[in-house]
Amino acid sequence: MKSLKNHLAFVIPLAFMLLTFTIYLFTNNIIKDYKQSISNDYSIVIITHTPLIKDKLEKMSSFDIKAVTRLKKDKIINKLKKDLSFESLNLLKSKLPFFYKIQLDDFPTSSQLIKIKKELALNKNIKRIEIFSKNHNQVYLLLLIINQIVVIVFTIISIFTVIIIAKQVKIWFYENSRQITILQLHGASILYSASRIIKQALFSAFIAFILISSLVVFVSLNMNMFIPLELQDIVRTKLDVQTQIINLFLLSFGISFITVMSVLISYKISNE
């Protein structure tokens, strides 16, 4: 019973840290996918006096342009066919400005849009600039805030986790101090003397890893239970289970091993 409590004192905080880390990775993936989705949908429309050359526009701009598409005038002219004569239509074709749709590599923030508009306005060939604001921006900012909150929570939990498991390791050292002292008197190294504690820590880390990895697999197989269908239509994010499990493994055993080694070095220094 005592052994179980000792393991739980190590496993529970570490499992919470791994869970928070998993949530952070997942929200980060959602933000990346959503950003890419709205970036593909978003475009700036400009009206120019003369045909626009993409290469020249890229050299004059500090922002990254994904594509420049020329919009056809036919739709505008077809709407006016019935009301205008043939000569008037030809005159309209010659006088009608050029319309272009600019797509950016990344979805811009509000401040970036203002900067982009100012840069485009410096081009004398550009007659008018239409920058459309979408509700996507609000959702994107909300996701960013959630991600930042998760990062802060993960950082706080990580600090408390290291403190708690370090205290638990110290308790293990105290409980096994007699055995460690006897082994050292017989010439054993501190690493060998504390092998039982290291094994306990790594076993607890393995339990925490298995618990959270199982949860990750369960969530990936039952995504509809955790993410609304409306959000799935907007952002088609899937858990990369293999990568996630590797990250959890490295974090779980890495934190445990580093904490144990730190306490072990501290114990060695204090007992020399």
Q: Which helix (H) or strand (E) holds 224?
A: none
Instruction: Decide: helix, strand or coil at residue 19.
Output: helix
Instruction: Decide: helix, strand or coil at residue 84.
Output: coil
Domains by residue range for the chain, with CATH: 2-37+138-270 (no CATH), 43-133 (3.30.70)
Separation in Å, CA 14 to CA 10, 151, 216:
6, 16, 15
The first and second tokens of residue 153, run together, are 């929570």
Separation in Å, CA 212 to CA 15, 36, 97:
7, 29, 60
List, for residues 69-126, the tens digit of each pLDDT value.
777 766 666 666 666 666 666 666 667 787 888 888 777 777 777 888 888 888 888 8
Taking a C-beta distance cutoff of 8 angstroms, is the pair 207, 11 a contact? yes
> Comparing 130-139, 146-155, 158-167, which segment has the lowest mean pLDDT?
130-139
List, for residues 15-35, the tens digit of each pLDDT value.
988 988 888 888 777 777 777
pTM confidence score: 0.69
List, for residues 203-258, the tens digit of each pLDDT value.
889 999 999 999 988 888 877 776 666 555 555 666 678 888 999 999 999 988 88
* DSSP codes joined into one string, 227-262: S-HHHHHH------HHHHHHHHHHHHHHHHHHHHHH
Q: Cα separation of 101 and 99, whole Å?
A: 7
